[in-house]
Chains A and B, each alone.
Chain A
Amino acid sequence: MEYIFSLELIYLIASVTFILGLKMLGHPETARKGNLIAAFGMTLAIFGTIFLYQGKVQPLIYSLIGAAILIGTIIGWGIAKKVGMTKMPELVSLFNGMGGASAAIIGLIEFSHYVGDQLSIATIIAGLIIGSISFSGSMIAWAKLNGTLKKPIRFPSYNIVNNIILIVILAFGVYITMSGSDSQLYLYLIFFAALAYGVLFVMPIGGADMPVVISLLNSFTGLAAAFAGFLYGNMVMLTGGILVGSAGTILTFAMCDAMNRPLASVIFGAFGEGTAGS
């Protein structure tokens, strides 16, 4: 990737608006302005990326990008404007899942371009796993909050099973990286396994704990974005991703604190909840 000063400058400004925006979101008087500042920085970064890209790009590709952004804006804006107050948390979960899916797709496409470059493959696989978990987990959280999935579904000893599945996925990811394999089969296998894990991870958690789970998945997506940023050496993705990853983690703990529930009992605590209920 060529180094273009004006684009790097835009990314720098965007990164600052993210930090500033997040900071201002933490105070009631400045919160709304903070959100707008971050949105401004994001717009700048997106258009900078498109218009300052060095390299030959077919007009067809430009129109495809334009169409995708246009359709996404109309749908996203429409849903967000229409939704009622009580439906907002589930919408956040839905949008979070979209970001995760986007990160996962980047991994799916880029894998074959980086075969042989172990560090890049490791980055791609990590982003793919985290993005996929975030996507499917957020979809389940969304379905739980809007009432499609009412009761937590718990398989026998799901905690142990889930942890084993996660370890297998991680081990498989390490294997793909180390072996230098270019197998698309492996790639899609790990993609679907991560999707399944996201479902299994959120399924047993009760509806009341969903905001905490969404916050956790939110920081996952941040991490997935950061991995993609690392892959491209793209500073604004790296800063934005890590910032959300770290802020999201702290926010998750703060939310648990506010509910007087340790994080471990939210994620693994379905046992205690079951006995308390009976």
Chain B
Amino acid sequence: MDVLIEFISNHLQMIYIVILMIFVGVEVIGHVPAVLHTPLMSGANAIHGVVIIGAILVMLSASPDDILALSLGFVAVLLGTLNVVGGFVVTDRMLEMFKKKK
């Protein structure tokens, strides 16, 4: 119990953000027409590419002689970039076709 109380009081700001973001996510998606499901999924997919920032932080804080961390970090940044760039570009292309059909 003490551990739980300590955890909550130490991370109150983050807990607020988590709870509020859960509601924002739910609200933002409500009542979306079915044709937009796939582009929306694709757009959300690009946004979670934000994990690349973690990969960049790993690289920035790695010591220069830690070859394992640097090479794994390199791969992580590369894959994260694929997620971000590919995600946004493919979403744009989906929506481009969507517009043409109208």
Interfacial residues, chain A to chain B (CB-CB below 8 A):
14, 18-19, 21-23, 25-28, 31-32, 34-36, 38-39, 42, 45-46, 49-50, 53, 55, 57-58, 60-61, 64-65, 67-69, 71-73, 75-77, 79-81, 83, 85, 88-89, 91-92, 94-96, 98-99, 101-103, 105-106, 108-110, 119, 131, 211, 214-215, 218-219, 221-222, 224-226, 228-251, 254-255, 258
Contact = CB atoms under 8 A, between A and B. Distances in A.
A10 to B, nearest CB: 11
Nearest to B80: A102
Interface in B49-76: 49-62, 64, 68-70, 72-76
B79 A25 contact: no
Nearest to A96: B45
Contacts of B96: 32
Given A83-B90, A245-B25, A225 B45 contact: no
Contacts, number: 322
B80 A247 contact: no
Contact of A49 (B26, B28, B56, B94): B56
A58 B24 contact: no
A23 B75 CA distance: 32
5 closest Cβ pairs, A-B complex: A72-B81, A246-B25, A76-B86, A80-B89, A76-B85
Interface in B76-102: 76-99, 102
A129 to B, nearest CB: 15
